[in-house]
Structure 1
Amino acid sequence: MRRFILGLTILLLLSPMLWGMPPHPELMEKIQRGELKAPKHNLVVSDEELAKAGFNPAQLKALSPARPKVAGPFNMLVILVDFSDKNSQVAPVFFDSLLFSQTQSSVRRYYDENSYGTFDLVTVNYPTSTGWQRAPQASTWYANGLNGLGAYPQNAQKLVEEVVDLVNPVVNFANYDNNGDGYVDGIAVVHSGPGAELSGSPNDIWSHKWAIVPRLRDGVYIFNYSMEPEYWTSPGDMTIGVYCHEFGHAIGGLPDLYDTDGGSQGIGRWSVMAGGSWNGSLGSSPSHFDAWCKIEMGFAVAGVITTNQTGVNIPNVEQSNAGIFRLWTNGTIGPEYFLVENRQRTGYDASLPSSGLLIWHIDDTVSSGNTRPWYPPNSPSSGHYTVALVQSDNLFQLEKNLNSGNSGDPFPGSTVNRTFSASTTPNSNGYAGAGSLVQVTNISNSGSTMTADFSVQTPTDVDDDLFNRPKNFQLSQNYPNPFNPATVISYSLEKSGPVELDIFNLLGEKVKTLVSGRQGAGLHQENWDGTDQSGRPVSSGLYLYRLRLEKFAETKKMMLVR
């Protein structure tokens, strides 16, 4: 299955597809009100365009670039270009620091933090060495009232072709083929002036990743590129967010995870590949890549949960590459699954909407990215995200376009939701409606290291002692049994200690915790009124109750009849 996922990522990476920076939140509101029109996304260089330019489409497919390496030094070429009608306002040395500094906030330091020190963004030709290049045409010619994303040649693709020719005498493009596949892996063009993703002007270029008809220079092809602005509203105010986002496309082949149609928020401010690229002041502190993106980039590997586990430590992913877990039925590997990660407001994640445990619902078979939101009462079969955030408050506000993330999203969050299972809201069912057996329970308070119990299996030992029975221990059969509406569970303890008494359904999903704490020796009685943890009546049927002590556990069955 990993081969399938990798294939999908490589397809995105190699496709000459256009991916754009998400609009600034204020601009997004104008688009939603119909005051502005969002540019087209997902445009491709067609076979017809390739053939017209004298390039054989079949040859392009045969010579497609391999996935760039994402470990060690990675050479990235950054070219500055201005126009006769829009002169540059910022010295090239500013971009030396913004992109490659090791001592101040930079794109390099952002990728270093996200990759846990395994990926180092460097260059052979600093922007100061190549300087600002003057484009042959005015900026309005390339923008053409369409943000530079219109038809060739009056678009950003033509600008890139011309800039490549301008710097060719001083740049050895072979230095930027990091994996030796014959293609330049990283090239970014910085245009003078602001970006349309903030200004909203059709005569400004919208930041994006796209591709040109391959050009052979220094023995390597130049194909994919990204384009970013010089400043936002005034010279010197440029931030790293837009660069981190577009480099995610250009280097990692990642798709946009915001809704490019503007109908929802995608995964909002929780990922740099969505609205998180604007976190901080105009993107000064972009959010980390979400768990799925880090895995796709090769920055992290998910721990696959194959057996039920209690008290699992979950370190924050800003500081540990061991904080992502993958859960699905019996630990099976397939295209649909959940990812769990602990996100905290630290490092470049300092401007997150909140903190806590994020649970992601992934479906790698979805090729439309995050453009088709799903929320009840609609059917998931009508469409859903590739990467969806399970919001602990169950309000689906990201999908409904009501906000870009808040304290109701993580667990336990503002609703103090500590349980995620088939019987909770939100639930852990698959998109087809079947139970996944996934449970994340006993979720701790948000912290640098969180804990939770993970379940992916139905308990098979419900009538067996897990340890040797204490001499003076007894778990009695509930009375009455069968029962309606309530029953009493009695047990005796040999000595004081930690006790947990839980109710489960036959799928092994926790329905309710009756006791969780320390109790003294002697006889104890607990009532169960046939409701779940949220106080809702459960259906008729067979249930299990389990008493767990420090070194012992026992389970019995009971019948609820409505």
Structure 2
Amino acid sequence: MRRALRVSWAGMALAAGLLLTAHPTRVAAQDIEAEAQLRGIPLPDSYYRTIQENPDAFSLPNGLFSVDSHGLRRAPVTGTASVPVVLALFSDSEEPYPQFSEDEIQRVLFDGPAEKGTITEAMTEMSLGNFTVTGDVFPWVRTSKTMLEIVGTESGFGEDADLGSYYVEALDLTDVDVDFGQYDNDGPDGLPNSGDDDGIVDVLVFEYLEVAGSCGGPSIWPHRSSMRWRTGTESPYQTDDASAHPEKDVIEVDGYITQGVSDCAGEELQTANVITHEYGHALGLPDFYHWVDRSAGPRGRRWVLGCWGLMAAGSWGCGDVEEEGELREPFGPSHLSAPSKAWLEWVDLEDPGEVWNEEIVLEPIQTSGHGLKIPLGDAGQEFLVVEYRGQIGFDHQLPAAGVLFYHLDESLPLGAKPDPATDDPYPLTLLERDDDDGLLRMATEGGNRGVAADAWGIWEESGKLNYHSSPPLSLNVGGYASAMVHEVRVDGDQAVIVLSTGATPRLVAPSGPFEVMQIRTFEAPVRIAGGRGPYTGVGDLPSGFALEAVGDELVLLGSLSETGPFEYSFRVRDSAGSESETVVVQVSAPIEWEVEQQSLLDMILDDDSDALTPGELAHLDAIGNDNGRYDVGDLRRWLRENGPG
């Protein structure tokens, strides 16, 4: 059950035991680079010089995303956060009215209705009403310098840019009529500027009229940063609004996000997809994609979680990066992944405890707020996170409704990106049902941003997760996981998984007897539930019979020359030496043996042929020359007695 929380802000990263911001600057820089790749627009060299000289240049420093002494971020779980949006024209900007009026921007970002939804609607839906993002879009102000004087020749990254003075002047003009204390609300009482807040506006948005540099336009490249860095001063911007913070006289502005108000054509208002992703960073969440090959442009990235997660490709869409040679149009935002929601305490990820062959029903996490977090090893650092995602709400354009399995490794920093030349793991990956690693390959390698076949339980296909399955479920540190998923299915608007996590092994008795063909080697699988592999079968079986552990099954192998029925008793032993109780399996052979002549010939002509089973080979030798192997003499005997065709 979701806990009732009375405070508005909590130390969520501490509760989750995770480093929510290992490399904030790299995360911030990746968003800028992502825009470049997705639009096919090269970044100026000045950008790379900037992040080399100051890796913190494009990171958010304060507010909701404050960092404690452990370096862990805090995120809101309930309440309301309000975002101030400052609209700033250059001296030579055209008039924005009526199409790009503050009222229209207020509508598409916050108040609605908007064709693709607002950030307010998206965050309310994702948080199940626990958290609301509102905002106030202030009237346009006109600053005193031209766009060229402010932006320079390199999208605002070059030495000829003067973004700091532009932002300061925009704030000076806006501050006259705005109480910025209403936007400092990161303290525990949920009241803005009440004395328990940090005295700094949580996050502020600057917007401009002209087409953004990321679209190939003449204006500023969208980014996030701090007023301290942008103005080259040691302190944030000082408003004229009194602060209730005991150590600050006035409210300050530091962290900001900047973007254009229009689409890349400069004709339509922006949608909420990108700003919703950016606000995810304000909540302390990293990106879950990885730029591997800069030279490949938009095709040179691993999407890792793809469109299944807002902080990966969830604002950009699914499938191939390109469609008919053109970059795909974005949609979204799609929902945060289950782990991201759990870090914000917007959903409960429950540990099912010790279960053996347990059927667990999953409702859509978008409405139920429930998923699973299953420990995978003794160290308590690797987990299988499970959610059922329906095609509803902001997720209506997902490739499919199905079960998603994530491998979470809490021993790794959450935003870490492994060396792409190695097989080192990511801290969070999606276990793709089709096991083609499309999310871990660049488009140049045949990768994608998410397809229906990533989801489990769709198309009436079940699927399993264990050490030998495809994809496998194993520990990043090596070895068998302490959990197995036996079945996955979607049933109407619910999903069902059959799970085992028990510490000791059990065998699930089959529902009835096995009926097999005489002579031919049969396979009678019995489900293994619990324990940890590798597994070994234990039992007193007739000569020629064997037990073989494969994935989550212990398979009885044998051959019958009589109808039966016959009963066989056996157990399973796991790697710790624990044994299950004995299970009794009944097998009968009412089906007479049939064999094709071509199969007899194939076994002679091809040493690697598997046209006949071991039971059939033994039988043919026994009724042939009985020399311990199937050979030409046995074939001749068969042909003499049964005819050539």
TM-score by length of 2: 0.64
**How far 1:166 sits from its partner (Å)?**
2.8
**How far 1:157 sits from its partner (Å)?**
5.4
Partner Cα distance (2:492, 2:132) in 1: 29
**How far 1:266 sits from its partner (Å)?**
2.8
CA distance 1:406–1:418, change in 2 (3 Å): same
Counterpart in the other structure of 1:92: 102
**How far 1:407 sits from its partner (Å)?**
1.5
**One-letter code aligned to 2:118:** S
- 498, 504, 512: which one aligns with 2:528: 504
Tell me if structure 2 keeps the 8 A contact 1:17–1:211: no
**1:74 partnered with 2:89:** no
The 5-angstrom pairing of residues 35-54 of structure 1 reads 43=51, 46=54
- 168, 171, 174: which one aligns with 2:181: 174
- 118, 123, 127: which one aligns with 1:106: 118
Question: Which protein shows a greater Rg?
Answer: 2
Partner Cα distance (2:44, 2:458) in 1: 35
The 5-angstrom pairing of residues 160-559 of structure 1 reads 160-178=167-185, 179=187, 180-197=197-214, 199-201=215-217, 203-213=218-228, 214-217=236-239, 218=241, 219-232=250-263, 233-250=265-282, 252-261=283-292, 262-279=300-317, 282-308=329-355, 310-322=358-370, 324-329=371-376, 334-367=380-413, 369=415, 371-372=417-418, 380=423, 383-401=424-442, 402-413=447-458, 416-445=461-490, 447-460=492-505, 486=521, 502-504=526-528, 507=531, 532=550, 544=572, 555=583
**How far 1:285 sits from its partner (Å)?**
2.9
CA distance 1:488–1:97, change in 2 (3 Å): closer
CA distance 1:368–1:488, change in 2 (3 Å): closer
Partner Cα distance (2:82, 2:177) in 1: 16
Tell me if structure 2 keeps the 8 A contact 1:314–1:450: yes
Counterpart in the other structure of 1:55: none
Partner Cα distance (1:48, 1:239) in 2: 28
**One-letter code aligned to 1:133:** V
**One-letter code aligned to 1:205:** I
Range with greater deviation from structure 2 (358-367 or 113-122): 358-367
Tell me if structure 1 keeps the 8 A contact 2:529–2:552: no
Q: Deviations over 1:298-336 (max 9, x none)?
A: 3222112322262211111221212x2101237x68443
CA distance 1:136–1:14, change in 2 (3 Å): same
**How far 1:221 sits from its partner (Å)?**
3.0
Partner Cα distance (1:115, 1:45) in 2: 38
**How far 1:394 sits from its partner (Å)?**
0.9
Partner Cα distance (2:213, 2:459) in 1: 36
Tell me if structure 1 keeps the 8 A contact 2:480–2:533: no
**How far 1:260 sits from its partner (Å)?**
3.8
Partner Cα distance (2:164, 2:209) in 1: 16
Root-mean-square deviation over aligned CA pairs:
4.7
CA distance 1:290–1:22, change in 2 (3 Å): farther
Tell me if structure 2 keeps the 8 A contact 1:88–1:132: no
Partner Cα distance (2:439, 2:334) in 1: 16
**How far 1:436 sits from its partner (Å)?**
1.6
Helix, strand or coil at the partner of 1:452: strand
**1:9 partnered with 2:20:** yes
Partner Cα distance (1:46, 1:486) in 2: 68
Tell me if structure 2 keeps the 8 A contact 1:83–1:137: yes
Task: Give unmatched runs, 5+ long, in structure 2.
Answer: 1-11, 59-66, 188-196, 229-235, 242-249, 293-299, 319-327, 536-544, 558-569, 574-580, 587-613, 616-645
Tell me if structure 1 keeps the 8 A contact 2:82–2:134: yes
Helix, strand or coil at the partner of 1:357: strand
Tell me if structure 1 keeps the 8 A contact 2:120–2:132: yes
**How far 1:216 sits from its partner (Å)?**
3.5
Tell me if structure 1 keeps the 8 A contact 2:46–2:157: no
CA distance 1:205–1:355, change in 2 (3 Å): farther
**How far 1:71 sits from its partner (Å)?**
1.2
**One-letter code aligned to 1:114:** M
Partner Cα distance (2:432, 2:449) in 1: 12
**One-letter code aligned to 1:419:** K
**One-letter code aligned to 2:281:** H
**How far 1:222 sits from its partner (Å)?**
1.9
**One-letter code aligned to 1:169:** V
CA distance 1:396–1:116, change in 2 (3 Å): same
**How far 1:420 sits from its partner (Å)?**
1.0
Helix, strand or coil at the partner of 1:443: strand
